[in-house]
Amino acid sequence: MTIEQTILNAVTATVEKLYGPLDGLQLQLQKTRKEFTGDYTLVVFPLLKRSRKSPDATAAEIGEALAAECPIVESTNTIKGFLNISLKADFWLDEYRRMAATERFGIAPSNGKTVMVEYSSPNTNKPLHLGHVRNNLLGYSVAQILEACGYRVIKANLVNDRGIHICKSMLAWQLYGGGETPESSGLKGDHLVGKYYVEFDKHYKAEVKALVEQGMSEEEAKKEAPIMQQARVMLQKWEAHDPEVYGLWEMMNGWVYEGFDATYKAMGVGFDKVYYESQTYLLGKDIVTEGLEKGIFYRREDGSVWIDLTADGLDEKLLLRGDGTSVYMTQDLGTALSRQREESLNGIIYVVGNEQNYHFQVLKLVLKKMGYEWSDDIFHLSYGMVELPEGKMKSREGTVVDADDLIEAMVTTAREMSEELGKLDGMSPEEQDKIAHIVGLGALKYFILKVDPKKTMLFNPRESIDFNGNTGPFIQYTYARIRSVLRKAAEAGIEAIAGEGLKLIPEEVEIIKYLADFPQTVLQAGANYSPSIIGAYVYDLAKMYNSYYHDHSILREEREDVRSFRVALSTTVAEIIGRGMALMGIEVPERM
C-alpha cells in the first residue's frame, strides 16, 4: 500500500466517523505544495453539504479529529478550505526501513503486458549524426523506464536500407570510388558510404547548374541530370534483383552495419529485434487489397490507390502508386500488422521526429478504419530537433555533427575538465580512460534527456560537462562522493543500520520523503514516455543530499546509532541515484 493510500484510508475513516458514510464520494488528497507546511492536503469543499459548516471550520474539525485518532499524524493546519496534514518523523523512519528492505525499490513487478519501442531507424547511406543520438538515447531510455514500470519491452530498429538515397551512395562509389574500402581508406564503413553520398550531391548539383545554364528550368534540370537518371536505373535494377547491383548493395550495406554497430556500442544502446526495409517494403499490399474490397480505399484512373480522410480533418492519402510500388505508408501498415500478429503487442511506441506527426496520424486512422482496434495503442513519441549554436545540420552537404566525432569529443572534453579539477589525480591511465568515457557519455546523455522530448533543443557540449548545476557530471560526482563515504565507513567498521527510536532531523525526513516518491516518479515517466522526469528527480535528490552532506557530519557523528543511520541513508540515496541514472542509460562511477 502506498503512503498516500494509507493516509487516505485514515482520513476516510475519520470523515465517516464525523459525517457518516461517504456513499461513493471520492476524497481529494494530494501532496502539499512546497510553500505550505504539511505532507498531504485534503480538499474539504466536497464535504461542506455534510458538515454544514464553512470550509475552514470543516477542515479544522476534520484535522482535530484526525490528529487525535490517527497515530501517524503529527499535526494539521487549515488554509482557506484546505487541510494540510503533517506526519510524524517516526512514520517516515518506518517508511525508510520499509523501502530500504525492498529489493529493487521503485521497480514495478511484471504487469503481463508487452510493448515495442521502435527507435534509431537509420538510412544506410550515411553515418549516425546528432539527431540520431537524441533518437537513440530517447528510445533506449523509454524502453528502460517501461521495463521498470512492469512491461515486457521489445526494443526494435527498422533500418532504411533501400530506395533512391541508398542508390545515390552506391552509384557515386561505383563512379568515383576506385575500389576504395574501409580497410584501404582507414574509414569506418558508414563514414565511407556517407562520403560518397556527399560526393553524389556535389556532382548532381554541378550537373543541374550546367543544365540550367543551357536554358533548362531548374525543376526540369533536377529530373534530367544524368547522374540522377543513373541512380533511378540502379534502383530499378535493385528491385529486379540484378546480381551486380544487388551484390554491390549487400557489400556496402555490410560496411555500414559494422559502422553502426560500433557507434551503438559506444553510445551504450542496443536492440532486441532489427527489421530491414528491404524485407518489409512489400508488406501492406494485402491490406490495400482488403481495403479496396471493403470500399475503404479507392483506385484512381492511373491505377494508384488512395484513402479519403477529408471528413476526418486530414486529406487524401496515397497508399499504392499507379505502377504498383509501395510508399512508406503501405510499408508501415503492413509492418504494424505483422508485428501485432507476431507478438500480440499491448502497445507500440514509434520514436520519430516531429516532422512525421502527420504520417502517424494517418497510420493510426487507416488502421482504425480497417477495424484494427489495437491501433489505439500506437503512440508516436514525437521529439524536437537538436540544434547547435552554429545552426542546423544538412547531411547532403556533409555539415552534420557526426555521432562518432561527437562521442569522441565529449570523452576528450570530459578528460580535460576532470584533469583541470583534479578529479583524476592518483588514478591509473586505465582508470582515467574509464572515468573520461563514463563522464563524457553521461554528460551527453543527461544533457539531451533532461529536456522534454517535445521541445527543440540547443546542444552545447562544453556546458553539458560542467561539474556544477543540472548536468550528468554533477550527479555522477555526487554518486561517487557517496560511494567514497561508504568505503570509508566499511573500513572503519561502521554498519549501515536504521534503528528504531531515532530522532530524525528535518533534512533527513525530507530526503526520506523524496526517496519515497521514486516509484511514483518512475510510473509517471513511463506514462509520459519522458526520461526528463527521471532526470529532474535524480538531480533534485543529488542536490538535496549534497546540502545534507555539507551541513551534517556522517562518519564523525558522535552517536553510534545516528552515525549508522546516516550511512544507511547514504547507501539508499546512492542506490536510487544509480537506479535513476540507469533508466536514462547513464553509468555512474565508483570513484571520481
3-state SS, 150-215, equals CCEEEEEEEEECCCHHHHHHHHHHHHHCCCCCHHHHCCCHHHHHHHHHHHHHHHHHHHHHHHHHCC
pLDDT at 547: 97
Return d(Cα 84, Cα 43) in angstroms, integer: 9
Summarised one tens digit per residue, pLDDT across range 481-498 is 999 999 999 999 999 999
Summarised one tens digit per residue, pLDDT across range 338-378 is 999 999 999 999 999 999 999 999 999 999 999 999 999 99
DSSP run (H or E) holding 285: helix 285-293
At the topology level of CATH, where does 3-87 sit? Answer: Gyrase A; domain 2 (3.30.1360)
pLDDT at 399: 52
Across the range 51-71, mean pLDDT stands at 94
* Equal CATH topology for 3-87 and 403-583: no
Q: Is the pLDDT of residue 461 over 80?
A: no
End-to-end CA distance of the chain: 38
Return d(Cα 166, Cα 231) in angstroms, integer: 9
At the topology level of CATH, where does 403-583 sit? Answer: Isoleucyl-tRNA Synthetase; Domain 1 (1.10.730)
Reading the block at residue 111, the C-alpha cell is: 504487469
Backbone angles phi, psi at 218, to 5 degrees: -60, -40
Binned at pLDDT 50, 70 and 90, residue 393 comes out as very low
Angle 413-416-417 (CA atoms, 0-180°, nearest 5)? 85
Binned at pLDDT 50, 70 and 90, residue 395 comes out as very low
Summarised one tens digit per residue, pLDDT across range 264-278 is 999 999 999 999 999
73: β partners: 87
Q: Is the pLDDT of residue 391 over 60?
A: no
Reading the block at residue 78, the C-alpha cell is: 487549515
Q: Tell me the helices (H) and strands (E) count for the chain, helix number first.
A: 23, 14
pLDDT at 458: 86
Phi-psi region of 430 (alpha: psi -120 to 50; beta: other; left: phi over 0): alpha
Across the range 68-84, mean pLDDT stands at 93
Q: Is the pLDDT of residue 408 over 60?
A: yes
Q: Is the pLDDT of residue 93 over 80?
A: yes
Summarised one tens digit per residue, pLDDT across range 539-571 is 999 999 999 999 999 999 999 999 999 999 999
**What residue spans define the domains of the chain?**
3-87, 119-387, 403-583
Across the range 525-538, mean pLDDT stands at 98
Reading the block at residue 432, the C-alpha cell is: 582515467
Handedness of CA 588, 471, 548, 575 (dihedral sign): negative
DSSP run (H or E) holding 434: helix 429-449
Return d(Cα 29, Cα 2) in angstroms, integer: 13
Q: CA 352 → CA 48, 122, 132, 264, 454, distances in Å?
A: 49, 11, 10, 17, 11
Return d(Cα 531, Cα 525) in angstroms, integer: 6
Q: How many CB atoms are located within 10 Å of the residue 184 CB?
A: 10
Phi-psi region of 528 (alpha: psi -120 to 50; beta: other; left: phi over 0): alpha
Average pLDDT in the chain = 93
Across the range 209-238, mean pLDDT stands at 95
Reading the block at residue 169, the C-alpha cell is: 551512395
Across the range 105-113, mean pLDDT stands at 96
Return d(Cα 528, Cα 117) in angstroms, integer: 14
Reading the block at residue 378, the C-alpha cell is: 500506437
Across the range 292-300, mean pLDDT stands at 95
Q: Is 490 helix (H, G, I), strand (E, B) or coil?
A: helix
Q: CA 550 → CA 386, 422, 554, 558, distances in Å?
A: 37, 20, 10, 17
Q: What is the CATH number of domain 119-387?
A: 3.40.50.620
Angle between helices 429-449 and 472-491 (to 10 degrees): 130
Across the range 404-430, mean pLDDT stands at 88
Q: Is the pLDDT of residue 392 over 60?
A: no
Across the range 62-89, mean pLDDT stands at 94
The highest-confidence range among 275-289, 454-468, 536-550, by mean pLDDT, is 536-550
Reading the block at residue 75, the C-alpha cell is: 499535526
Residue 360 C-beta-side C-alpha neighbours within 13 Å: 17
Given a contact cutoff of 8 angstroms between Cβ atoms, the answer to whether 363 and 378 are in contact is: yes
pLDDT at 465: 85
Q: Is the pLDDT of residue 1 over 80?
A: no
Binned at pLDDT 50, 70 and 90, residue 398 comes out as very low
